[in-house]
Chain A
Amino acid sequence: MRRWIFALFAIVAALTLTAAGAPAARKLRVVATIPDLKALTEAVGGDLVDVDTLSRGTVNAHEMEVRPSMMLKLRKADALVENGLELDMWVDVAVQGANNANVVRGAPGVIDISRGISVLEVPSVRVDRSMGDVHPLGNPHYSLDPGLAPIITQNIVDGLSRVAPEHRTTFEHNRQVFLGQLDQHMAEWTKIMEPVKGSKVVVYHPQWIYFLARFGLLEAGWVEDRPGIPPSPQHLVRLVRKMKDEGVKALIYAPWNDQKLATRVAEEAGAKTVLLAQMVGGVKGADSYISAIDYNVKTLAKALRP
């Protein structure tokens, strides 16, 4: 028995030494909690970083199940990029199981990209769970607003530079290149959305406010009764009536929302359902940050056009 234990220990130790003995000239290993942050970190880090993400664009980033595979990714990470504002708090549990000092809270490798964001929907009154799964620090879905990319990417530059200060100039250069590309698209997106500016839309979950505000659209209501709480029949009746009264033409939903319910509500209200990419990878073709925003802009504008 003892021989078996020693043999097992020796195998594990040998594998560890092999893995740890990687050459010094390696890329910076970064883990991002959500795909948007992966895409933006790749844009800033370029060839100097290897970025992985803990969630996918089709899932609800609020309620991630913490899998040991997340711990495995974090075990090897030099830095962790997190959304903050309580969207990805689950990462704390994964970090605890990763046994990696680089990514524990307070370490220089932990990059919270919400710093400096003008957060929307910050509760101005006392909040509790009777209001649903509210975010006391404000709406955390700001990465859907391409206009906030300069702040987000600046935070990423600052964070990556804490871990690898020798590459700061390169990170800053990559950021400028990316923002230049984004600026070009922004002009196009603004032009596309101009004719539908001021239109009212209903959303399934209150996660689109930054995107809507950027392009001058108005949020007329939510399918969810309260954030995270499935709707009651009474709520849906009121919502349909409101949509009809206010001439709402589109109901926006994400891949993880109940598509059947969204379709039923939209049909009853005489509106169209619009599946948007809540994050990079949320729908087919939304493989990069720019393509995800591009998809959202063009799809929504098409649905809202008379």
Chain B
Amino acid sequence: MRVWIITGLLVGLVISATPVGAQEAETLRRELEQMRKQFENAQQQYQKAIETLSERLRRLETRPEPVVAPPAPPPPTTPLAQGLGQGQMAPPSATDILRPRQPFGLYQQRGTGQLLFDMGIAGDFVGNITQPNVDKANAGTFTGRENRFFPREVELALFGQIDPFARGEVRIEAGEETPGPETTVRLAEAHLTLLTLPYGLQLKMGQMRARFGLTNVIHEHDLPFVDRPDVLRVFFGEEGLSEKGAEFTWVPDLPFYLEALAGVFNGDNETAFGRGKLNEPLVTGRLRSFLELSDTSAIQFGASLAHGTTADRLRSTLIGYEIKYKYRPDGWLHPLLTLASEGIYSIRRVEVSDDTAVFEKRTRDRFGWYGHAELQPLRRWAFGARYDSTQYPVNPGWQWAVEPYVSFFPSEFLRFRLAYKHTDRSHRDGFTDNGGSARIMDELLFQASFILGAHPAHPF
């Protein structure tokens, strides 16, 4: 009997256990299937991640190392109230600046065939046709090169970062200065700019075109007209104010744009100064501001100052104004309308003498200005005109000129320009070389300019 009872219990247990076991197996199978799917999903995700990372790694390995601090490990989030700044690059201290550095440190990190600076060539060829008497007097817009076509400025520009703290720029120019097959090569600019000075300061030093007014700083091939405005050529000479020295700029942290500039130069410019000594330096200053009237129009204005000593050790001061307006309709690649004007007021001490002796020193106050308007209704064509009016810095008399022109741009890197210039001078004196006369001049000016390679973007 006991045997039967035990057997019955066992059978009952087995029978009752069988569905439970089957349920558990089913559950286990489902879990296993779920795990398999999860594993496959994870495997796919990891595979994707590995592929993405491998590709990223490959690209990073083929690039030069960035000159940046590596990202710090993620610290715990801190309230915003603690402010920013831990990771910001602190302005270098005086000892940082003075500490010797490996000047070609970046060179070692370059990739194959990579230059560590930009280089570009700008070619500017001009020509003019004028009357024989103007040619004879050597008094045309391109003095001594009347009725000629010649390379005015073929410029090799090299520019880029010297190191994380400074930028360098070198411009070497070749051009015809006197008629003939010879061209003169000269160093037009070579300067470095310290970019990481504190308090919004920047220092540029070397040989440079001084930032006096709107157009003095612009090289010939970038001018918006064929020739440099008369007022600049009369007060600073054909090359403009190009000097050796240093310029400090300060952009204060204000709600509007203001740039203050102070410069110290040798004062080599023979037309305006000419002393060329640092103990009697040429000092310059400029204040420039800018107003964005809307998304499509803006105005820039400023005032400049240059004060130095002439070769005769007499004071010479020039004060200039500048103003420029541009209207560029939304989506246009070029401005539709550009209006600009610049003027210089010169206060200069001169020695008044006859042929034998010096009588006395006097002050000459002279003024000159120009106004310019350009309309560019089409991408390839621009039409403009400039009006010049200027007195002479020392001699009596004045001249005015009007110069309409048309520009054709087959592309961003190529430009042709044709202009007519009529000049009227109040006096014949000073423009009568070789028995010629250039009191009234009519000139046909033409220009072809091109850019090879890199060229910095044009400022406003």
> What is A's interface to B at a CB cutoff of 8 Å?
12-13, 15-16, 19-20, 24-28, 47-48, 56, 58-60, 63-69, 71-72, 75-76, 78, 89-90, 92-93, 95-102, 104-110, 112, 115-118, 129, 132-133, 151, 158, 161-170, 172, 228-230, 255-256
Q: Which residue of B lies closest to A173 (CB)?
A: B77
- A72-B257, A75-B253, A100-B200 in contact; A169/B292 too (CB < 8 A)? no
B66: chain A residues within 8 A (beta carbon)? 112, 115
Give complex CA distance A229, B234 in Å: 39
Q: What B residues does A102 contact at CB under 8 A?
A: 88-89
In whole angstroms, how far apart are the Cα atoms of A50 and B258 in the complex?
A: 22
Q: Which of A27, A63, A151, A166 contacts B412 (CB 8 A)?
A: A63
**What is B's interface to A at a CB cutoff of 8 Å?**
55-56, 59-60, 63, 66-69, 71-72, 74-78, 80-89, 91-92, 161, 163-164, 167, 193, 195-198, 200-202, 249-260, 288-290, 292, 295, 298, 300, 326, 328, 330-333, 335, 379-380, 411-413, 452, 456-460
Contact A20 B253 (CB under 8 A): yes
Q: Is the CB–CB distance between A101 and B56 below 8 Å?
A: no
Q: Decide if A19 touches B411 in the complex (CB within 8 Å).
A: no
Partner of B298, one of A67, A106, A169, A255: A67
Question: Which residues of the partner chain B approach A72 to less than 8 Å between Cβ atoms?
Answer: 251, 256-257, 290
A67 CA to B292 CA in the complex, in Å? Answer: 9
CB pair A15 B254 closer than 8 Å: yes
Q: Are B71 and A158 in contact (CB-based, < 8 A)? A: yes
Q: A16-B252, A99-B251 are in contact. Are A163 and B82 (CB under 8 A)?
A: no
Q: B250–A99 contact, CB under 8 A?
A: yes
Q: For the complex, what is the distance from the CA of A169 to the CA of B74, rounded to whole Å?
A: 6
Q: Chain B residue with minimal CB distance to A157? A: B71
How far does the alpha carbon of A289 sit from the alpha carbon of B86 in the complex, in Å?
Answer: 30
User: Which residues on the A side are within 8 Å of B87 (C-beta)?
Assistant: 108, 161-165
In the bound complex, CA of A63 to CA of B332 (Å): 10
On chain B, the residues within 8 Å of A163 by CB distance are 84, 87-88
B89/A101 in contact, CB under 8 A: yes
Q: Closest B-chain residue to A48, C-beta based?
A: B80
Q: A63-B412, A166-B77 are in contact. Are A97 and B200 (CB under 8 A)?
A: no
Contact indicator B89/A68 (Cβ below 8 Å): no
10 extra interchain contacts, Cβ-Cβ under 8 A, other than A71-B259, A168-B74?
A: A19-B254, A20-B253, A25-B82, A27-B80, A68-B259, A68-B289, A69-B290, A96-B195, A99-B197, A168-B71
Contact indicator A106/B74 (Cβ below 8 Å): no
In the complex where A12-B260, A161-B72 touch, is A167 in contact with B331 (Cβ < 8 A)? no
CB distance from B235 to the nearest CB of A (A): 21
Report the Cα distance A65→B128, complex, angstroms: 31
B253, A19: Cβ atoms closer than 8 Å: yes
CB atoms of B460 and A165 under 8 A apart: no
- Whether A106 and B67, one on each chain, are in contact in the complex, defined by CB atoms closer than 8 angstroms, is yes
Between A and B, 15 residue pairs with Cβ closer than 8 Å are A65-B326, A68-B459, A69-B292, A95-B195, A97-B459, A99-B197, A99-B201, A105-B164, A106-B67, A115-B59, A162-B68, A164-B86, A169-B74, A169-B75, A172-B74
Using A65-B328, A102-B88 as known contacts, say yes or no to A107 and B456 having CB atoms under 8 A apart: no
Residues of chain A within 8 A of B335, CB atoms compared: 65
- Contact yes or no, A166 B78, CB < 8 A: yes
Partner of A101, one of B78, B195, B379, B380: B195
Q: Determine the residue in chain B with the shortest Cβ distance to A21.
A: B253
Please determine whether A16 and B195 come into contact, CB atoms closer than 8 angstroms.
no
What is the bound-complex CA distance between A92 and B85, given in angstroms?
24
Q: Give chain A residues whose Cβ lies under 8 Å from the Cβ of B82.
A: 24-25, 166
Complexed CA–CA distance, A100 and B84 (Å): 17
Once bound together, how far apart are the Cα atoms of A60 and B457, in whole Å? 14
User: Once bound together, how far apart are the Cα atoms of A72 and B288, in whole Å?
Assistant: 12
CB-CB < 8 A to B200: which residues of A? 75, 99-100
Q: Which residue of B lies closest to A165 (CB)?
A: B72
Nearest B residue to A170 via CB reads B77
Provide the residues of chain A in CB contact with B259, threshold 8 Å. Answer: 68, 71, 97
A76 touches B253 (CB 8 A): yes
Report B81 CB to chain A, min CB distance, Å: 4
Q: Which residues of chain A are near B198, meaning CB under 8 Å?
A: 101
Q: A15-B254, A64-B457, A101-B198 are in contact. Are A26 and B71 (CB under 8 A)?
A: no
State the CA gap A72–B300 with chains docked (Å).
Answer: 13
Per the bound structure, the CA–CA distance linking A89 and B120 in Å amounts to 15
Closest to B328 in A: A65
- Measured between beta carbons, the chain A residues less than 8 angstroms from B89 are 101-102, 107-109
Question: Are B88 and A78 closer than 8 Å at their CB atoms?
Answer: yes
Q: Are B333 and A60 in contact (CB under 8 A)?
A: yes
Considering residues A92, A115, A166, which has the most beta carbons from chain B within 10 angstroms of its beta carbon?
A: A166
Interchain CB contact under 8 A, B460 and A256: no
Set of chain A residues within 8 Å of B458, measured between Cβ atoms: 65-66
Closest residue to B335 on the A side, CB-wise? A65
A-B CB proximity, top 7 nearest: A90-B457, A68-B290, A106-B164, A101-B196, A24-B83, A168-B74, A165-B72
Contacts of A13 in B (CB 8 A): 252
Q: Which residue of A lies closest to B70 (CB)?
A: A162
B366 CB, nearest partner CB in chain A, Å: 20
A56 touching B80, Cβ below 8 Å: no
Candidate in B72, B83, B164, B459 with the most chain A CB atoms within 10 angstroms: B459
A151 CB contacts on chain B under 8 angstroms: 56
Which chain A residues border B81 with CB–CB below 8 Å? 25
Q: How far is the CA of A72 from the CA of B258 in the complex (A)?
A: 8
CA distance A76 to B253 in the complex (A): 7
- By a CB distance below 8 angstroms, the chain A residues around B379 are 230
Tell me which residues across on chain A come within 8 A of B295, comparing CB atoms: 56
Q: Are B75's CB and A69's CB within 8 A?
A: no
* Known contacts A71-B257, A101-B197, A228-B412; A92 and B456 CB within 8 A of each other: yes
Q: Which residue of B lies closest to A163 (CB)?
A: B87
Q: Whole-angstrom distance from the CB of B211 to the nearest CB of chain A?
A: 11
B195 touches A104 (CB 8 A): yes
Residues B288 and A68 in contact, CB atoms below 8 Å apart = yes
**A65 vs B288: C-alpha distance in the bound complex, in angstroms?**
18
Does B74 lie within 8 Å of A161, measured CB to CB?
A: yes
